[in-house]
Amino acid sequence: MQLSSSLAKPLQRSRVLQDVRYEIRGQLANHALELERRGYEIISLNIGNPGLFGFRTPETMRLAMIENLAQAEPYCHQKGIFPAREAVVMQQQNRGIRSVTADEVFIGNGVSELIDLSLRALLNPGDEVLVPSPDYPLWSAAVALNGGKAVHYRCASDNGFQPDIAHMESLITKHSKAIVVINPNNPSGAVYGRNTLEQIVALAAKHSLVVLADEIYDQMVYDEAEFVPLATLAADTICVTFSGLSKIYRACGYRVGWAVFSGDLDRASDYMQGMELLSALRLCSNVPGQWAVQTALGGFQSIQQLVTPGGRLYQSRQSVIERAAASKYLHLEKPMGAMYAFLRLDERFRGKLDDQSFARTLLENHHVLVAPGSSFNTPYADHFRITTLPDTATIDIVFDRIETCLESFC
Q: Domain extents for the chain?
A: 16-55+305-409, 59-298
Residue 2 has pLDDT above 80, yes or no: no
- Mean pLDDT of all residues belonging to the chain: 95
Q: Which residue has the higher pLDDT, 339 or 13?
A: 339
Q: How many residues does the chain have?
A: 410
pTM: 0.94
Q: Which residues of 325-355 are buried (b: 16+ CB within 10 A; e: fewer)?
A: eebebbebbbbbbbbbbbbbbeeebeeebbb
| Angle in degrees, 0-180, between the axes of helices 392-409 and 312-326, rounded to the nearest 10 | 20
Residue 7 pLDDT grade (very low, low, confident, very high; cuts 50, 70, 90) = confident
Q: Which CATH number fits domain 59-298: 2.40.128.130, 3.40.30.10, 3.40.50.300, 3.40.640.10?
A: 3.40.640.10
pLDDT classification of 99: cutoffs 50, 70, 90: confident
The CB density around residue 29, as the number of other CB atoms within 10 Å, is 19
Is residue 5 predicted with pLDDT exceeding 70? no
**Closest alpha carbon to 379 in 152, 144, 168:** 152
Q: What is the pLDDT of residue 1?
A: 52
3-state DSSP call for residue 213?
strand
**CA 384 – CA 394 distance, rounded (Å):** 18
Q: How far is 342 from 149, CA to CA, in rounded Å?
A: 25
Select from 201, 285, 280 the least CA-distant residue to 241. 201
Could you give the CA distance from residue 200 to residue 233 in angstroms, rounded to a whole number? Answer: 10
Give the residue from 386, 298, 395, 295 showing the smallest Cα distance to 57: 295
Could you give the strand order of the β-sheet that contains 383-387, starting from the edge strand earlier in sequence?
A: 330-332, 340-345, 383-387, 371-372
Q: How far is CA 368 from CA 53, 365, 385, 386, in A?
A: 15, 8, 12, 10
Peptide bond into 390 cis (omega under 30): no
What angle (nearest 5°) sits at the alpha carbon of residue 25, between those of residues 302 and 186?
45
H or E element at residue 236: none
Which of the four CATH numbers 3.50.50.60, 1.10.3720.10, 3.90.1300.10, 3.90.1150.10 does domain 16-55+305-409 have? 3.90.1150.10
Task: List, for residues 54-78, the tens digit of each pLDDT value.
Answer: 999 999 999 999 999 999 999 999 9
Query: What confidence score (pLDDT) does residue 4 get?
Result: 57
Query: What percentage of the chain has pLDDT greater than the value 90?
Result: 92
What is the pLDDT, as a whole number, of residue 40?
95
pLDDT tens, position by position, 181-222: 999 999 999 999 999 999 999 999 999 999 999 999 999 999
Q: What is the pLDDT of residue 115?
A: 98
**DSSP label at residue 211:** E
Question: Is the pLDDT assigned to residue 280 strictly greater than 70?
Answer: yes
